Structure 1
């Protein structure tokens, strides 16, 4: 009897401990939820901290490495006369649907506040696959201050192939959708595969890089290189797009001509910008993740945000490089006599997981505003978009709890179309735009 009584007491004690443990876990979970909710509401990236020491700016120095003209000319001679943007747009073979014709899942990926004024989903042949994902955007509003390239309004969207799914030959490749935006109700696009000349221009390989940032300036396209690489940026010439003549899975020269994994067009790189301090990463220079053009500086400048994990402890840096004003170097960065590029401005922010960046100084304002689009720490759901300067930071609020997670899901880069006052961006499922004035109004 005593044994059974002791056993009952032990069971009652165990039950009591279980109740207390369960209550403690429930309180911990509740505290975690409250903390997470508060983090959504109060997790401000704060004011920008200017960085000017040689130790900081020296990490961002680049070395320009352009391919010799004979290499590029040899490739063009072998493949035939290059084509321009007009030829690619004229052969657009995929259409985009306006938001009303998109699925509810597509529309759910759009910003909550402010709402997009125009939004489009991709052709089903592209949106059905999870192997390729859009991440970067730039427009003819970046390329030319009148917003038109030739006679066309154009949007370029950069996609990267996953390194873990699909055919091994495709993994890590980068392609650009050339979108004809002349008629807002009927957008259409054509793919161009990004490649890099090899063997002195006798062949090319696919660019294996995550193009999380992309800027079209004059006749050049600058895209981010792979994270962890010594290359910071690759440079492309919009007047050197080449048509391939073999429809096959190979990339490069093949018996009978040239192939590009089934794509009709390729754009060969004309060079790159490489960090002088070695590979980017935790112990080296900051890896650029998002890019944008700022026409408000003199000269115009390329702005960049550091690639960091959204749930990591490493806060990002923001910086800019000046573009060259030399007519012979249209679309290239300003360099010294040795081909080196130095940053003209650098900041530290408390933000992490930045996937979109803009720099803009409104008329009459004393300070430049930096807009940063961030992924949530969980990488799941909507992110936040903050406007920062040296005085502080503001973000839009949405939902009953005043959350800052109001921006797009898996948000991509940002591009300001100065001629129209629009900001273009991407979710993981849609391309969209909204007026910068409405974005500013939502930020207070």
Structure 2
């Protein structure tokens, strides 16, 4: 959070000679330079132009950029039996949930002066893309933090009448962001119960998640046909989500976090350090849970596509490198599915032995590529001694001779692996 420390104490600190006037002058000069740069001494109100602000903020260029960013931020978490993309000429589509037609929540917790009237909701986005003969039905079902199930009957009736259900659930926009914490990762209110009632209809269900943190959705993952992680996508939320749902855009986003199976798994992250008793389900005296796997529900870097990518032929340019050499790492990627698509190829490294404990994996490189159906491409990365450095006992950046694993794959858990050695000739902390 922000601090009032300087406002309350700085004058007194200067009087006590604990902060010099020269330090104050230096700080003020930084601000004045920026004001000079932007011409604010000649025209102090030059940027206070409401007409220009309105024109620029909602210009077509800005809206196009907002849509592009939103589409690329979406992560496909599940797609059983290739339910997605949906056909645009379905007879009836039910859009259900407290976030289905929300205009405020898609703006997210850092919207500042964002205008909800500029937001395209999920219902609105879907209506834009379907054919005229398709009927889009809407039922809210409940509010985000509702404790009442009074509107469940209407939601269930709406779902029953449809060919497919788009269930839009998640968090309020101000549940995340600065100083907003929760003690649980469960869906707020009665949204979980709503999901269970919709599931009982037997209709195929696509879950749209709108949230600012990982949620505990193991039941939803186990029972629902498809799951789309949409986060808070801004003014073009509805358009972006609709383009993904109907295949105008093939999702390519990857998770920047790990999703736990339950809040009890926290902290859970891909680059953790090994314990003294690494997990082994066959050995009772190792680190593990009695009631669930050690692994997350979705690992860091996870994200599906409407097509499939096959990794093969991982190659290293050499079994070892010195301080002055680079290691070339290459892998073949082939689009084996039925759609053109993008893939984020990820490279991780593990230092097997170190003078201080080292993570089991560290992301070092990634590259996003586009492949047409049946197209194949070799993707290459380079690693140097600098990429293998870490903070040593003396709090300096060092590297050490030894063996390393290199992993390349579609996420932090689904990888191919190889090994190489770093043979040091110079102390990296002195370079």
Which has more radius of gyration? 2
TM, length-normalised to structure 1:
0.25
Identify, as 1 or 2, the structure richer in strand: 1
TM-score with structure 2 length normalisation? 0.26
More helix per residue = 2
**Greater RCO (CA < 8 Å, at least 6 residues apart):** 1
